[in-house]
Structure formats: C-alpha cells, structure tokens
Structure 1
Amino acid sequence: MNADERELITETAARLFEQPNRYALVDELVGAGLEEELHSDDELVDALMTLQGRAGATSTLLSLIVSGSAFDTSWTAVLPLLGTHTAPGLRQGDIAVDGLAINPHKAGPFLVHTAEGAVLVSSDAVTTTPANGIDPELGLHTVIGTASLRTCTPVDGLRWDEVEVRALRAVAHELIGLAERALGRAVEHVTERKQFGKAIGAFQVVQHRLVDANTALAAAKAVVESTRGSGDLLAALAAKAWAGRAAREAVDAAQQFCGAMGFTWEFGLHELVRRITVVEALFGDSDQVIDEIGDILVGRSDAPRLATL
C-alpha cells in the first residue's frame, strides 16, 4: 500500500471516529476488503491506532488487529486482563476464558487466544459484563466462562507470541496519540490562560515541564518507529514502555498546568486521564513492562541494540 492510499484510509478513519457508531471503522475496513492489509501493513496499523488516540475515540480496531486476515465483523477478540499480556484462554480439556473485550458484539463469537492456538467461542458459553470502572466510555467488558472444546471452531494461522507483539505495538501507538492529545490540550490552555498580564506559558517553570513532556513524547516516537517491523517481544515491550511513560508524563503536565479548571467536568481533561490510565494498563503498564524487560535481559548474555544512534 502506498502513502496516498494510507492517507485516504486515515482520512476516512478520522471522519468515522467522530461518529457515535463504535463499529463503523472496522465495518468500513472489512467492507473494503482490507483485512489482509491490516494484518501485513504495520505502517497502516500504526497510523490508525495513533489516530484513534489523537481522537480520543473507541472502536473495535484492536479486535481486528489481533484477529488476522480471517476476521469477520461479528467477531470480538478477547484481550488479556489489565496488567498482563498472557493469552486470555487456557486449555484444560475445555477452554477456560478470563479476559476483556472492547465494545463486544453481543451475538457474535469471541476469538480466544490460547498458548496452543486461537478458537472461536460462542457468546452463549461466556458471561460478558460491562467493566465500567475508571473509563466507562471505552466500552470495556469482562469475558469469563468455560466452553467445551468440541463446540469451538479453530482459527488457523494465529500464534499468541506473534499476536501479543502486534497488540503491544498497536497499544503503544494509541498511547502516542493520546499523549499528543494531552500535550496539545496543555499547550492550548497555557497559551490562553493569563496571570500577571501574560500567558502562563511564558513562565519558565511551565515551559520547562512542557519541554520535558514533549521530549518524552519525541523519545517514545523514536523508539516505536525504530522497532517497526520487528517481531521481537523485547522490542515490542520497549515500545509499549516508552509510549506509556510519555502518555503519563503528558497528562500529568496537563493536569498540573490546567489547575483547578482542568478538574471541572466541562473542561474534559478527566476523559484523557481516564483513557490513558486504562489503555496504559492494557498488556501491562510501563512499570510492569520495564520489570519484564529487566527479567528478559537478565536471562540473556547481552543486551540488544534497539536502534542505531
């Protein structure tokens, strides 16, 4: 896919993200026969997930990304519980499911990844409950149940070690978009808000903190871009860790400099705080991921170079 085609798709996505229909984007992509592109074109996936973050939107895009080219719009992928990136399904004679879903289709089957492969599980075999929690607008649901293996349909070509790498990178890009949105909101506020006859953005303490947040964001972008195309779990974990820290730094700065106004319902910053908190915990938050990176490196004889400096 060339740059013009990607731009056309992202322009369409930007328009669809403004609609209340959370299934519209994926329905459009699948209707255009782009399942294979989403499975093979990392640059397109990265652009769409970043755009979702910038828009502060929610969709079923992550389901499509982790489901491969066989995806059907009625499917909902089950994701790991917050704080983990282990497969949400466990084969113990039957299939035990314990995970999360974003904007699940009520009637359609659930795609459940296990260490041995992926299967489709009937929605009747699991209990789906709105998680609500800190970000009810995300559409997060718990998915719990046990399904007989005889009633499940195998989905060929999906391996969890490959899927988790794609998911980690996808979430990293969404966090990059969310960080951009938070930083943009902070800059907008400090440019408009005045004290002592000048915009508060003119004060050095404000400038220094925002520069730090912008530097963290630039560093995260560099790490995420430099690891594109790598199927290595360590590279994907590094991308997720840097993106998560950048998003937290950006929203923390926004909270600090938007002050009391930033805590009002009308201002809307709380929506970003909530979304970043939950998305950062998907597939493990940055602190957990950094610990895991340390464990992996301890088990290796050397530390790989993630980027050429």
Structure 2
Amino acid sequence: MMDNDTLDMLRTSLRHVLTEATNVPLADRLGELGWDEVVADDPVTALHTLFTLKGDTVSSADALGPRLAAALADALGDPQLTTATVGMESPFGPSSLTDGSLTVDAVVFTPPSDNPVVVRVDGEHLAVVVGSALTCTRLTTTDGELAQFRLTGTVPASQVQCIEGATASIAWSAMVTHGRWLLACELVGIAQHVTDSAAQYTGERIQYGKPIGTFQALQHRIATAHVLVVGAARLAEHAGHSGDEWSALVAKAVAGQAAETACTQAQQCYGAIGFTWEHEFHHYLRRTYVLDRLLGDWRSLEREIGNELMNSRHVPKIGML
C-alpha cells in the first residue's frame, strides 16, 4: 500500500506525463517512470490514480486499450495477448463468424498494425486475427481529440483463432469488469474537475455586486453535483479493491451519471461562457459523452441493475452502502 508521500509524487509524475505535448506512446512514457513496477507493487492505487488523473486532465492518450488487453490475456492465461488490440462493439454492426470466414466490425483506440486483434463474435465466442488483415479507418466522433478507429474486414476462417464456450465468456466478462472500473475512475476524475472548476468560477464571477456563488440557486446546483461525485468516487474506489463484476457495474453506472450531472449543473453556473469554444468546459462534456457509452452507458446499466435486483430479490452490499 502506498504511503501519502509516494502517492503525491506519483500524482505529480503522472500529471506531467498526461499533459506533456508529445507523440511518444503513453506506454513508453510510463515505462520511463518504472510503471510496471509501480503497478506490480500496488495495482489498485496505481491504476485508480492514473485513470482519475486522465479524466481530470482530459488526456487523449490511450491508457484503456492496453489494460483491456492485459485483463483479457490474464483471464485466458495467454501472455501473448498482452500486446493485442481488443475490438469494442461497433455501432455499425456486430462481428460474425461463419464456417468459411470471420467478418470484423469493431472499434479500437489505437491502430493494431501487426498485433493480434481480439473481437467478440455472436455474443459468445472470441476470435483472434492479425491486425494487418483488417482495414483501419479513423472515426469522426463527438470528441475529436480522443482517437477511435473502425476495424473492418473479412478473414478466412483458417487464419482465425477461435476461443469458445465458458472460457471465452468468463474471460470477456473479466475484461469488461476491469474496463468498467477504469472508466468509472476516469469519469470520476472528469466529474471532480468540472464540479471544482464551476465552484471556483461562481466564487470569482461578480454579478449585482457579489459573487454569483452566494446565490442559493447556484449553490444547490454545485451541491447536487458534489454529492453525486463523492458517492461515485467511493464506489469506484471500492470496485477497485473488490474486483467483482457487480461493484464495477454499479461504479460505472453511477460515475457516468455523476459526470453527466456535473456537466449539466456546471453549464448552468457558467452561463454563456460555457458555450464558447475558448472555454475548457466543452472538452470535458464531450469526453463524458464518449466515455459513458463505452462498455455500457449509465442509463442502460441502470436498467440492468434494476432488472437484476428485481429478479434476484436481493440487494448486494457495496462498501458502506
């Protein structure tokens, strides 16, 4: 477990790495910090800190892709897949596997080059194919600073490694659980930054001879956002330590709602300046919408949570909740 001084130094170093202007891949820059040793020593604290800061700084570096590959490789017991690119569900259609070929349609965060690509097919199997066999096209998204690419192509079945049955389902679920936790941390980082920045602005903006932060209507908006953010932060912290599927599901749902709510309330505090291109706010709003929709948006996850509670007639305890 990291002590406070070590954690402060880690935060400072990671903030510098995430905000520096460079084309060097994030993995290489983290390697210079001895990142693998830090993660090996205290993985929960290290990853929680990295992704929360990534949300706070709205860094466009791909930190999620390598972690999804690592989680999948670990679940499958296949170290070679640590360099793989995991294909996420495409809005254009699913990947499918027939007797003769694999048709791929997936979204990734980094072009795979010659690395293996893993996609889920038919909702139950995993298929592994060489990335160079696929066409990679950059997508135009809500957040243009966060690169996303569409992988498409048809590959002969003879060139596809298929992982079937329970092995595939368990491994994919483990990867989704890990990814949801990391995304929850990143969304919490966004929500915290947006709420803190809005609170600071209302303390500085003068209207009718006094800071607008003294007006009760805006105080209520900041308080509403703050309550959700604090709750989401606690859930994300617990999900990291527990590592279970339910905690990650709830943490992702609450973090997505908290980030969206924080942006909604902050926009009302900012007024017209919040609509300008020059203000930082739109970067956080755009990032919130993109991240929330990865591995399940908060509204869909909320329905999933509700259905599970109704079917099981049991409310699992999460941390102190």
| TM-score bin, normalised by smaller chain | 0.7 to 0.9
Counterpart residue type for residue 212 of structure 2: I
1:78 aligned to 87, 100, 123, which one? 87
Matches within 5 A, 1:1-309: 2-3=2-3, 7-21=8-22, 23-30=24-31, 32=34, 34=36, 37=39, 41-68=43-70, 70=79, 75-81=84-90, 90-93=96-99, 94-102=101-109, 104-105=110-111, 107-114=113-120, 115-117=124-126, 119=128, 121-152=129-160, 159-309=171-321
Report Cα offsets for 1:133-156 as digits up to 9, x if no partner.
211111122222233344346899
8 Å CA contact 2:205, 2:211 repeated in 1: yes
In 2: Cα distance, 1:251 partner to 1:6 partner = 28
- Provide, for residues 58-92 of structure 1, a one-character-per-residue CA deviation record: whole Å limited to 9, x for no partner: 1121011111164789653322346x9xxx75544
Residue identity (%): 28
Structure showing greater relative contact order (alpha-carbon pairs closer than 8 Å, 6 or more residues apart): 1
Kindly provide the CA deviation profile for residues 7-35 of structure 1, in whole angstroms up to 9, marking residues without a partner as x: 54443321111123365321233564718
- Runs (5+) with no aligned partner, structure 1: none
Unaligned runs of 5+ in 2: none
SS at match of 2:240: coil
CA 1:188–1:287: 2 relative to 1, 3 Å: same
Residues 216 and 71 of structure 1, relative CA distance in 2, 3 Å threshold: farther
Q: Is the 8 A contact 1:16 1:24 kept in 2?
A: no
Distance 2:40 2:89 in 1: 21
> Post-superposition shift, 1:52?
0.3
CA distance in 2, matches of 1:242, 1:265: 28
Name the CA distance, whole Å, in 1 between partners of 2:20 and 2:55: 15
Distance 1:65 1:215 in 2: 29
TM-score (norm 2): 0.83
Q: Secondary structure at the match of 2:312?
A: coil
- Native 8 Å contact 2:137 2:149 kept in 1: yes
1:256-297: CA deviation from partner (whole Å, max 9, x where unpaired): 111111111111211111111111111111111001112222
Secondary structure of 1:133's aligned partner = coil
TM-superposed deviation, 1:130: 1.6
Question: For 1:258 and 1:239, how far apart are their aligned partners in 2?
Answer: 28
Cα distance in 2 for residues equivalent to 1:204 and 1:261: 20
For 1:154 and 1:45, the matched residues in 2 are separated by 30
Richer in helix (by share):
2
Using the alignment, how far apart are the partners of 2:38 and 2:178 within structure 1? 14
- Compared CA separation, residues 22 and 303, structure 1 to 2 (3 A): farther
Residues 23, 60 of structure 1: 8 Å contact kept: no
1:38 and 1:45 in contact (8 A); partners too: no
Q: Contact 2:112–2:132 (CA<8 Å) still a contact in 1? A: no
SS for the counterpart of 1:207 is: helix
Q: Please, what is the CA RMSD of the aligned residues?
A: 3.1
* SS of alignment partner, residue 97 of structure 1: strand
